[in-house]
Structure 1
Amino acid sequence: MLRSCCFRCFGRRNGDGLLWHMDLKPHASGDFSIAVVQANSSLEDQSQVFTSPSATYVGVYDGHGGPEASRFVNRHLFPYLHKFSKEQGGLSPDVIKKAFNATEEDFTRLVKRSMPVKPQIASVGSCCLVGAISDGELYVANLGDSRAVLGRRGFDGEKSLVAERLSTDHNVSCENVRKEVEALHPDDSHIVVYCRGVWRIKGIIQVSRSIGDVYLKKPEFHRDPVFQQYGNFVPMKRPVLTAEPSIVTRKLIPQDLFLIFASDGLWEHLSDEAAVQIVSKYPRAGIAKRLVAAALQEAAKKREVRYKDIKKIERGIRRHFHDDITVVVIYLDHHKSSSKPNHKQGTAGCITPPVDIFSYNSDEAVENSGDKIFPNEESRSRVAY
């Protein structure tokens, strides 16, 4: 069972108490690197990489409104992918859609059970980006505005190195996404409004697809008297968000060099092209951390502060300077994928960063807190560096 092989692997931390990273680990067709930096009081980004002799799975889940949805997805989506792919004889777009839908349904049931004690969970959601490599085929599925970018050699007439975006940003800051949402709601002239400097659906949320955000999908939740004591009533005739993923499939070719999977905290500060150039120019070991550092440097410039000063700012307050950032870089070594995996690569495992970077040195084991949908914030508040 896929769930049972997941474990937490503690990477190195230095210089920044809210940064976790893993320099380099092998997968079936290359190496991968992960880095996470926390900005929110509770880390709302969650991520994982599953490796086996025949497949590699990547998940990046960017929560909003709280960490509950992203943590839930982190524990449930991969087991569903494993279950349905086994039942249907392999991975496919249909398997991926079924796994996303089952995770959404399970989280909705959790929200329903939790409403009496925690009504705000109805407004918690998560973007969801998944990449899978199996039998030389790449699958990329996403909800929201986390992003997957491929770095590849150029074809005839192209630059020597090309940044190719493989995912769709479901964010109404994009004109085509606004038009898509407006077309689905022709009788609602206020479905997308410009407020607080950005476009938002119902003046509330920028992404049009997610796991969770149940009150924007199920009328019975936003009409619930318990929820209305917590949040404002949102007039809507039909769901304004969806959990239907965009899915891209691609046969990997020798020109494909590496993949970058990252939450929008990275892409807010780095373009696709800038990120690809960084990965191509620097050594593999620690490359995900290098991308995070580049984004933080850009964030510091925008706020006219020094990068080293940002690293000293505590969680919560730090969110005013940058978002939680998660980066996974997957190198594609085609000579490895065509040969038999060695003993080191033949071991299946699932690497998951700490559920909360701030808790990394806590007296409480991170594994224990990671199993809780509602973490004990009071117990973590005693931790200091």
Structure 2
Amino acid sequence: MLQALMNFLSLCWKPVGHAGERLDSVGGSVVTGSLGAGRDGKDGLLWFRDIGKYAWGDFSMAVVQANQVLEDQSQIESGAFGTFVGVYDGHGGPEAARYVCDNLFRNFQAISAEAQGVVTTETIERAFSRTEEGFTALVSELWSSRPNMATVGSCCLVGLICQRTLFVASLGDSRVVLGKKVGNTGVVAAIQLSTEHNANVEEIRHELRELHPNDPQIVVLKHGVWRVKGIIQVSRSIGDVYMKHAQYNREPINAKFRLPEPMNMPILTANPTILSHPLHPNDSFLIFASDGLWEHLSNEKAVEIVHKHPRAGSAKRLVKAALQEAARKREMRYSDLRKIDKKVRRHFHDDITVIVLFLNHDIISRGVPQDHQLSIRSALDH
């Protein structure tokens, strides 16, 4: 019975591409079947897919690079089972985000099979836990040759749509915002569905102080920014094992990551905040994005941009709006910002990843997704 279910799920979620082709192929993406139909391309440091189809409607996707090596990764996996969306914002390097993009969905797939295909908060938590354990094992394996892998981490934002329900799981400060129609007024409200684990949020500082009552330095204000132990802004992530396991908080990792006092308990955690949201006919679209977008656009502005323009190119339009705002803040022209190369560009904005899912309630109400598969990962030259 279990093997049969595994085979079924494998068919539903099977990543598509030519034999031996990696899903994060350089310079673009790998897409399955007619659901992936739509124009995609590259404009300097910007990669985009203007429009495509997934199980429950249309999607738009874009990513712009700012770092020397792209630290954002993202994916959409969609089939008869439903839809899995992931946005992974790496820090300290790209390795953790790439690992999560390679393994989180696969772990969820296997754990769902073990649970007879039922999706619950527990199955999602187990997928996150298994991914964290796998990355920690990799850090241990590479400790003698690449000790700084212990200082690499990734925020994770996951959306799962199945059985007319949206699950949102988050670590770190990426964000998903729902565009919801307000009756028949023509207005679309912006509703944030994810929780952000960033020390600049007062509730997170309170949470950290409650968890570490004997540590007056658990959050420190440095140059106007709150940081956990004065080092990192996010309080939850995959990776960052130097802040979770004492055996990695020592030489030879960089001195700026080493704590002066013993670590008696994990400082960061990989336990996601999970929300369950029954989809309503007035739920119009979802914007999943790394914090690089939200640094420059409010929830309301992002929803307004999607609502007031054609669906095609929605994600790219959001990225460009954020870049225009970043340029305005530095009193420069957008056209000049576009000419700045990666690495130097990081002084003006972060890597930005955006996925917009439009919700087709004719399909959702039937409970039967569109009859094709989609497996796509955004990627730029690393």
Superposition TM-score, scaled by structure 2 size: 0.88
Pairing 1:154-169 to 2, within 5 Å after superposition: 154=182, 160-169=187-196
Matched residue, 2:258: 232
CA contact (8 A) 1:28 1:337 kept: no
In the alignment, structure 1 residue 358 sits paired with structure 2 residue 374: no
Structure 1 counterpart of 2:381, one-letter code = F
Q: 2:170 aligns with which of 118, 142, 146?
A: 142
Is the partner of 1:46 in helix, strand or coil? strand
The superposition leaves residues 153-195 of structure 1 with CA deviations (integer Å, 9 ceiling, x where unpaired) of: 1259x99321111000100101011000111110000110000
Matched residue, 1:315: 342
Matched residue, 1:77: 104
What is the CA–CA distance in structure 1 between the aligned matches of 2:220 and 2:368, rounded to whole Å?
A: 52
What is the CA–CA distance in structure 2 between the aligned matches of 1:348 and 1:145, rounded to whole Å?
A: 29
In the alignment, structure 1 residue 112 sits paired with structure 2 residue 133: no
Superposition TM-score, scaled by structure 1 size: 0.87
CA contact (8 A) 1:9 1:351 kept: yes
Is the partner of 2:381 in helix, strand or coil? helix
Pairing 1:1-385 to 2, within 5 Å after superposition: 1=10, 2=13, 4-5=15-16, 7=23, 8-9=29-30, 12-14=40-42, 16-89=43-116, 90-154=118-182, 160-223=187-250, 225-227=251-253, 231-235=257-261, 236-339=263-366, 345-354=370-379, 357-359=380-382
Matched residue, 1:378: none
The superposition leaves residues 298-356 of structure 1 with CA deviations (integer Å, 9 ceiling, x where unpaired) of: 000011111011111111000000000000000001012234868xx4222310012xx
CA contact (8 A) 2:153 2:238 kept: yes
What is the CA–CA distance in structure 1 between the aligned matches of 2:260 and 2:356, rounded to whole Å?
A: 39
Is the partner of 2:196 in helix, strand or coil? coil
What is the CA–CA distance in structure 1 between the aligned matches of 2:367 and 2:86, rounded to whole Å?
A: 25
Is the partner of 2:220 in helix, strand or coil? strand
Structure 1's 50 and 234: CA in aligned 2 closer, same or farther, altered over 3 A? farther
1:358 Cα deviation (Å)?
3.2
Larger displacement relative to structure 2 (76-85 or 227-236): 227-236
Please report the RMSD computed on the Cα atoms of aligned residues, expressed in angstroms.
Answer: 1.9
What is the CA–CA distance in structure 2 between the aligned matches of 1:208 and 1:234, rounded to whole Å?
A: 19
What is the CA–CA distance in structure 1 between the aligned matches of 2:259 and 2:178, rounded to whole Å?
A: 41
Matched residue, 1:377: none
The superposition leaves residues 66-91 of structure 1 with CA deviations (integer Å, 9 ceiling, x where unpaired) of: 00000000000001111111111221
Structure 1 counterpart of 2:211, one-letter code = L
What is the CA–CA distance in structure 1 between the aligned matches of 2:194 and 2:208, rounded to whole Å?
A: 18
% identical equivalent positions: 51
What is the CA–CA distance in structure 2 between the aligned matches of 1:182 and 1:155, rounded to whole Å?
A: 42
The superposition leaves residues 365-384 of structure 1 with CA deviations (integer Å, 9 ceiling, x where unpaired) of: xxxxxxxxxxxxxxxxxxxx
CA contact (8 A) 2:284 2:358 kept: yes
Larger displacement relative to structure 2 (235-244 or 29-38): 235-244
Matched residue, 2:26: none
Matched residue, 2:4: none
In structure 1, runs of 5+ residues without a counterpart are 360-385
The superposition leaves residues 114-162 of structure 1 with CA deviations (integer Å, 9 ceiling, x where unpaired) of: 1111111100000000001001010000000000110001259x99321
1:207 Cα deviation (Å)?
0.5
Structure 1's 234 and 43: CA in aligned 2 closer, same or farther, altered over 3 A? farther
Is the partner of 1:149 in helix, strand or coil? strand
CA contact (8 A) 2:63 2:378 kept: yes
Matched residue, 2:35: none
Structure 2 counterpart of 1:77, one-letter code = L
Is the partner of 2:41 in helix, strand or coil? coil
What is the CA–CA distance in structure 2 between the aligned matches of 1:347 and 1:196, rounded to whole Å?
A: 51
What is the CA–CA distance in structure 2 between the aligned matches of 1:234 and 1:33, rounded to whole Å?
A: 46
Structure 2 counterpart of 1:32, one-letter code = F
1:13 Cα deviation (Å)?
3.3
1:228 Cα deviation (Å)?
5.9
What is the CA–CA distance in structure 2 between the aligned matches of 1:327 and 1:295, rounded to whole Å?
A: 11
The superposition leaves residues 15-39 of structure 1 with CA deviations (integer Å, 9 ceiling, x where unpaired) of: x410000011111221001000000
Structure 2 counterpart of 1:346, one-letter code = D
What is the CA–CA distance in structure 2 between the aligned matches of 1:348 and 1:159, rounded to whole Å?
A: 33
Is the partner of 2:48 in helix, strand or coil? strand
CA contact (8 A) 1:3 1:79 kept: no
